[in-house]
Amino acid sequence: MKFVKIVLAVSALLPLASYAALGGAPGAGSAPQTLLRAATSNSSSSAAAYSVRESRDADGVRIREYVLPSNVVFAVTWQGPVRPDMVALLGSYFQTAVSAAQSRVRGTGPLIERNGDFQIESVGRAGSFFGKAVLPRLVPANVRADDLQ
């Protein structure tokens, strides 16, 4: 029975597109574009705290990668009619998300896991999925992870 739960949890997060790996370099995605606005950590500083790269896949899923100046993705968000490729988005953190999903009773609402190293919120139903994954230790000072969308 435990194997069935694992298979169901993994299948709910199976890949449908390919983008960034959380904690790694931004993905190559299909024609990603850096959004014109880059957030700054303080108004007197000319250096951006992070930039946002946005892509859409063939299924219409919008992926936003929040990238530090050191070219590391510290957060990703998604919104679309299907789930994106969660393995590609979460990279080495995918197994943590699967473990969080396994500890929940199936069908009881959104997947929300928050710990010191990794945070994920994944919500949706057929035709409308959205969520976010964040590495809190990499979030720039004066940036609220809750404000990323």
Give me the DSSP letters along 31-54.
Answer: S-EE-S--EESSTT--SEEEEEEE
pLDDT of res. 107: 59
User: Is there a domain that residue 35 lies in?
Assistant: no
Quote the CA–CA distance of 88 and 18 in Å, as a whole number.
6
Of 149, 13, 129, nearest to 76 (Cα)?
A: 149
pLDDT in tens for each of the 149 residues of the chain?
454 344 334 444 444 334 557 887 776 543 344 443 445 444 444 467 899 999 988 789 999 999 999 999 999 999 999 988 888 888 888 888 877 777 666 655 677 778 878 888 888 888 889 999 999 999 898 888 878 87
User: Is there a domain that residue 103 lies in?
Assistant: yes
**Cβ-based neighbour number of residue 75 at 10 Å:** 24
User: Is there a domain that residue 62 lies in?
Assistant: yes
Write down the residue that tokens 């992926």 correspond to: 63
* Kind of pairing between the strands at 119-125 and 111-114: antiparallel
User: Is there a domain that residue 38 lies in?
Assistant: no
Range of the domain at 129: 2-27+49-140
* Two structure tokens written together for 23: 């904690």
CB-CB contact of 15 with 88 (8 Å) = yes
User: Is there a domain that residue 108 lies in?
Assistant: yes
Specify burial of residue 86 (Cβ count, 10 A radius: 0-12, 13-18, 19+): buried
Q: Please state the pTM of the whole predicted model.
A: 0.71
pLDDT of res. 20: 54
User: Is there a domain that residue 44 lies in?
Assistant: no
User: Is there a domain that residue 128 lies in?
Assistant: yes
Q: Which amino acid belongs to residue 39? A: A
* Domains identified in the chain, total number: 1
pLDDT of res. 108: 59
Quote the CA–CA distance of 132 and 122 in Å, as a whole number.
7
**Cβ-based neighbour number of residue 104 at 10 Å:** 15
pLDDT of res. 57: 80
User: Is there a domain that residue 37 lies in?
Assistant: no
